[in-house]
Amino acid sequence: MKIGIIGAGIAGLATAVRLAAQGHEVEVFEANSYPGGKLSAFEQAGYRFDAGPSLFTMPGYVEELFRIAQVPIEGRFAYVKVPITCRYFWNDGTQLTAWSDARRFAAEAERVLGVPAQRVLDYLALSEKKYRLAGHIFLEKSLHRLDTWLNASVLKALSFLPGFDLFRSMHQVNERWFEHPKLAQLFDRYATYNGSNPYKAPGMLTIIPHFEHNLGVYYPEGGMHSITQAVFDLAQQLGVRFHFGQRVEEILTERGRVTGLRTAAGEHRFDAAVSNMDVYYTYKRLMPGAKAPERILRQPKSTSALIFYWGIRQTFPQLDLHNIFFSDRYQEEFEALEQGEIIDDPTVYINITSKYTPTDAPAGCENWFVMINAPSHRGQDWQSLVARVREAVIAKLRAHLGVDLRPLIATEAILSPPEIEAKTSSHLGALYGYSSNTQMAAFLRHANFSRRIRGLYFCGGSVHPGGGIPLCLLSAKITSELIGQPTHS
């Protein structure tokens, strides 16, 4: 088959690799001049920054692309496991190092917070069990096909149904399990991995810590953008054709079936199309005449992000690759986000890749990716909001680090939700499409295929199974498997 893909985000790139490996003729159309979507990078004043996702887990999903393409990964993509998952800081001076070794992390939690180490290990074991029983069903298969549910693994998962905590919030599970507010807060934060509120998101999301604490956190050599570059190069090697700077203007259909794509350069005929574009804009911009699934498109959006890229003229040995400075008003922080606001004591995340790639910053300096959870774009006065939050972040970090950052900021770039929407066509700047703040959220995500238009498929963070690099790579797997077997070798 001849297949057109809309968007060269990581899900679009991975889908292209998988389909080309199946023997299909694949072309990718990207409005931007570069591949990767949110998973891109830039340089400024001698500092290199990964622009988007900063956490790398489940590297096997990248390795699988090379395996199915029958191309050696050696010399093309490499990564290392980091010894520290994250360093945590609280306003009262408490600091905790989350070691990548689960037992060492549990011992640290006992030493710092007084929570028995075995309690932490039991929690992580349960997180693994939940993933083992349900993760492969909910994350690696289409939830919208009957054959997904007609197998023994589903029956086994159903036998453990009460253990999935579907009817308790993530916070209720963590609060009851640990009986310590700081450790509950540490594990609550994993709701933000898909832009959700831990006080509303179902307890099922407690499977997420398994990815970090049991399977590990990794760093791709050369930074996160090397993931994009490796998959892009692989796709090209398999013969995928890329059209950069060509925005798709319409998905062409006849008699309920995809016939091609239209760009400013003309019409391009295809047997099938895969949209890696936000599902909202896929319908509203590319198929304005088609009946849209309004119930799905009206769901509450995930959170977004406000990011400050700072070149810092100093090194901070107390910081690592991943660092989190918690708010004392965590529940209020999420309530404010749902109202379109950011509180004055937000939780701050700092990623510093120069800890692992020294050339990402000049000697004696560091490249800081400073991210604050932000609401989706709803017409807020972002200029004043960004200025206020910037001052709050600088004040918060001064209290923790004992240094005024203002004279240390050698260069700065800022990314806010309106700019995220403009650069990546993410509706309202939401990073993960829709939130997972209800028990049925997983089932209300758009399927990876269209029930109304034959030959139309979807991948990426706004459809099943969700946002983040691992889930986007899984959406590519689901979509390519739905499209079918190779037509030729």
pLDDT digits (tens, 9 = 90+) for 300-334: 999 999 999 999 999 999 999 999 999 999 999 99
Burial class from Cβ neighbours inside 10 Å (0-12, 13-18, 19+) for residue 1 reads middle
Residue 218: exposed, middle, or buried by beta-carbon count in 10 A (0-12, 13-18, 19+)?
A: middle
Burial of 80 (0-12, 13-18, 19+ CB in 10 A): exposed
Q: In the beta sheet, which residues pair with residue 377? A: none
Tokens of 316: 């901070």
Mean pLDDT, range 389-412, rounded to an integer: 98
Q: Looking only at Cα atoms, what is the longest distance across the chain? A: 66
Give the three-state DSSP class for 320: coil
Residue 164: predicted pLDDT? 63
As a whole number of angstroms, the distance between CA 342 and CA 449 comes to: 36
Whether 486 has a pLDDT exceeding 50, the answer reads: no
Q: Is the pLDDT of residue 489 over 90?
A: no
Burial class (CB in 10 A: 0-12, 13-18, 19+), 461: buried
> Structural domain boundaries of the chain?
2-37+60-65+224-298+440-483, 106-214
pLDDT 10s digits, 170-206: 999 999 999 999 999 999 999 999 899 999 999 989 9
| Interval 72-127: pLDDT, tens | 999 999 999 999 999 999 999 999 999 999 999 999 999 999 999 999 999 999 99
pLDDT band at 141 (very low <50, low <70, confident <90, very high): low
Report pTM: 0.94
The confidence score (pLDDT) of residue 54 equals: 96
Instruction: For domain 2-37+60-65+224-298+440-483, give its CATH number from 3.40.109.10, 3.40.50.450, 1.20.272.10, 3.50.50.60.
Output: 3.50.50.60
